[in-house]
A and B are shown apart, each in its own frame.
Chain A
Amino acid sequence: MNAGETAAGLLLLALGAYVSATASRFPHLATGYPGPGLFPQVLGVLLAVQGIALVAAGFRGSDPPSFPWTRRDLFNGFLVVLAVGVYVVASPRLGFLVTSALVLTGLMARLGAGLGRSLLLGPALAGALYLLFGKVLRVPLPPGLLG
């Protein structure tokens, strides 16, 4: 059994059912024509049917190849996601330059770039991005601590 496909199929079935159920409660047009609920309902049902088909395919399928990612790489991937989350939370208070320099330096070092190089390139790249987006494109980047 292909566990990934079966799990995905079940997820889709659940999602489709949820969407359909929610959309069926959307209001209708006065003249009786279907309103905003029609399309999501159709899509929900479609998704649920596809989910069932996928579960069936998953049961029939062979074992998937073993997990291609190493534990260390998975952790690094998680760190990248976390880093963006940290940026979203911290940048209003710490400002763009500080937060992005920290994020860049941290990620580069973690991915193996060497501490010296990371400490040099992190703030440098942050500064370059600030110039490009903040000055050339005039995007209002949060000043934070440096404001």
Chain B
Amino acid sequence: MDAVTRAVGLLSQPDVLLVVLLAAVYGLFVGAMPGLTVTMAVALFVPFAMFLNPVPALAAIVTLQAMGIFAGDIPAALVRMPGTPASAAYVDDSFALSQQGKARLVLAVDVLASSFGGLLGAAALMVGAPLLAEWALGFSSFEYFWLAVLGLSSTAFIATGSPLKGAVSVTLGLLLATVGIDITLGFPRFTFGIPELLDGVGFIPAMIGLFGFSEVLRGVLSGRMQLAYAPLEPEPAFVPALRILWRYRLQALRGGLVGLVTGVLPGAGADIGAWLAYGVSRKFSKEPQRYGRGSMEAIVESGVANNSDLAAEWIPTLVFGIPGDSFTAVVLGILMMKGMRPGPAVLHDYRDVLVAIYLAFILANVLMVPFGFAAIRASSHLLRVPRNVLLPAIAMVCVVGSYAINNSLFDVGVMLVMGVAGLLLEALGFPVAPVVLGMVLGPLVEQNFMISLIKSEGAWVQFVARPVSLALAVLTALVWALPAAGFVRGLAARLRATAGAA
């Protein structure tokens, strides 16, 4: 109980609360603007996080994310441009409903579903993290190796369009991670004589480029500088939204559960939670024909899932240092920056900070209701901000933000290159998030692989000798089996077709 009292004390400092409030507004704004994403928001927030203490920095991030993920539903419903990939799972339903004159109702349901999901996630985090940490104390390099590989495989293969392209993205990310001095011999790899590359490709400038600058480029290339949107209906929506949430309460709980499970799975992020919940929802629904055309049921279930996911993702990030998606990858970077190395120890050594984070989750999701409704009311004004002013401004923020990390113009160059690369990758159908996870998990995979190799003295069977390693290896094999089966089936079909034609 003292930890809670101390955490409340930490959180209720006026400067911390101010930062949280500003982060809430920032998250809502970025989430609600089409073309700006929550990942961009947190990447651009990092320069500020550097100067804040751990508690306000992390509380701000929690708030920013919770608000942003909800706010992404606003442009999804109003202009069919999801503000975050997670909102994309139900964008067709949201947009259809707002075209039917129910925009305000849809968004109200979104707020309440998001808030509920977030609180579920916070509860899971508070209970789950210490439990998992206890269990993870016995983990060795073998387990960490398989966990990282599982995470990378999940990212590449689960819920991406093409498993091959997902795998390419992961490999590219892993390759980027090899740039710099290696851990075994201190040998500079792929630095081409550039001293700034000895530390590797700057992670934060790369993130800002991949998620901030590439979005700017995409916005400029789309040529859409003013957006047309559906107006909000005048009827108040709070009570009707509550009734809808109650009507679909079982779906809400089920969605929350799906979100929690995908959150805890390393490598699977918020986007996947919402998509999975949507699929599950449609499968079990009594009105599957409405899905895609305006199903409130779908919105409730996926909306809860993509917020319950958020807190659950912090569990593998905190306990194993394995992020669930690009957002938690940035969180990981910030934790390391503050000297909080993830691992079972961090839950013990930084107990007060962590309890403060749990409380911040609760605070953010409670605040989401009044703030969210205010944002809905302001949404028509937000959408009127001219993009030909907004996009150059964000481009400049990307530049200064990347520069600010190390006072280095080279980092600005990294940001630029990665921004263009991100644009090209997405244009060709390659997912970008696996690149980031490859960059983050690359060192983890390599380190634990080398340590395990040296420990086992060449006896490969050691890699699956321990029970948890074996289980993780089997899980990884299962994740690989899905696309492999698809590939074999495709091959067989093509062979049959050519045989039939002959």
Residues of A with Cβ closer than 8 Å to B? 4-5, 8, 12, 19, 22-23, 26-27, 29, 33-36, 38-40, 43-44, 46-47, 50, 53-54, 57, 69-70, 72-74, 76-77, 80-81, 83-85, 87-88, 91-92, 96, 100, 103-104, 107-108, 111-113, 117, 121, 125-126, 129, 133, 137-141
Residues of A contacting B397 in the complex (Cβ-Cβ under 8 angstroms): 129
B171→A73 contact, CB < 8 A: no
Which residues of chain A have C-beta atoms less than 8 A from B168's C-beta? Answer: 12, 47, 50, 54
Q: Is the CB of B187 within 8 A of A125?
A: no
> Considering the chains assembled together, what is the distance between the CA atoms of A34 and B458 in angstroms?
11
CB closest chain-A residue, reference B183: A36
Question: Top 6 closest A-B pairs, CB basis?
Answer: A111-B388, A36-B182, A107-B392, A113-B388, A73-B223, A139-B404
Q: Whose C-beta in chain B lies nearest to the C-beta of A91?
A: B409
**CB-defined A-B contacts under 8 Å, sample of 7:** A36-B182, A43-B178, A50-B171, A54-B168, A80-B391, A129-B396, A141-B400
* Contact yes or no, A121 B389, CB < 8 A: yes
The closest CB in chain B to the CB of A4 belongs to: B428
> Secondary structure at chain A's binding surface: helix, strand, loop or mixed?
helix
**Residue B216 lies at the interface, judged by CB distance under 8 Å to chain A:** yes
- The reply to whether A113 and B167 form a contact with Cβ atoms under 8 Å apart is no
Assuming A27-B185, A80-B217, is B392 touching A111 (CB within 8 A)?
yes
A85 and B416 within 8 A (CB)? yes
**B487 nearest CB neighbor, chain A only:** A53
* Mask: chain B, 168-188; 1 = CB below 8 Å from A; 0 = not: 100110110010001011010
Also in contact, A26 and B403, with CB within 8 A (given A85-B416, A111-B225, A137-B51): no
Distance to closest chain A CB from B396 (angstroms): 6
Let me know if B253 is at the binding interface, CB within 8 A: no
CB-CB under 8 A from B220, the residues of chain A are 73, 76-77, 80, 111
A19-B175 contact, Cβ under 8 Å, with A26-B187, A77-B221, A112-B225:
yes
In the bound complex, how far is the Cα of B484 from the Cα of A53, in angstroms?
13
Most buried by A among B175, B429, B446: B175
Q: How far is the CA of A35 from the CA of B415 in the complex (A)?
A: 30
Q: Which residues of A contact B416 (CB under 8 A)?
A: 81, 84-85, 88
Could you tell me if B400 and A133 are in contact, using CB atoms closer than 8 angstroms? yes
| CB closest chain-B residue, reference A84 | B416
Residues in chain A near residue B289, CB distance under 8 A: none
B164, A57: Cβ atoms under 8 Å? yes
A83 touches B389 (CB 8 A): no
Contact B396 A125 (CB under 8 A): yes
Known: A47-B168, A69-B221. A133 touches B185 (CB 8 A): no
**Which residues of B pack against A, CB within 8 Å?**
47-48, 51, 164-165, 167-168, 171-172, 174-175, 178, 182, 184-185, 187, 189-190, 213, 216-217, 220-223, 225, 386-389, 391-393, 395-397, 399-400, 403-404, 407, 409, 412-413, 415-416, 419-420, 427-430, 446, 449-450, 453-454
A33 touching B189, Cβ below 8 Å: no
Contact of A54 among B47, B164, B213, B404 (CB under 8 A): B164
Whether B388 lies near A81 (C-beta < 8 A) is no
Cβ-defined contact, B412 with A50, below 8 A: no
Shortest beta-carbon distance from A57 to chain B in Å:
7
Taking the closest CB of chain B, its distance from the CB of A76, in whole angstroms, is 5
Check A40 against B395 for contact (C-beta < 8 Å). no
Contacts of A74 in B (CB 8 A): 221
Q: Which residues of B contact A80 (CB under 8 A)?
A: 216-217, 220, 391-392, 395
CA–CA, A74 and B217, complex, Å: 9
Cα A26 to Cα B222 in complex, Å, equals 44
Docked Cα-Cα span, A146 to B428, in Å, equals: 44
Compute how far the CA of A112 lies from the CA of B216 in the bound complex, rounded to whole angstroms: 15
CA distance A72 to B225 in the complex (A): 13
Q: What's the Cα separation between A72 and B222 when bound, in Å? A: 10
**A22-B413 in contact given A43-B174, A108-B392, A133-B47 (Cβ < 8 Å):** no
- The residue of chain B having its C-beta at the shortest distance from the C-beta of A23 within the complex is B189
Give the CA-CA distance A33 to B216 in the complex, in Å: 46
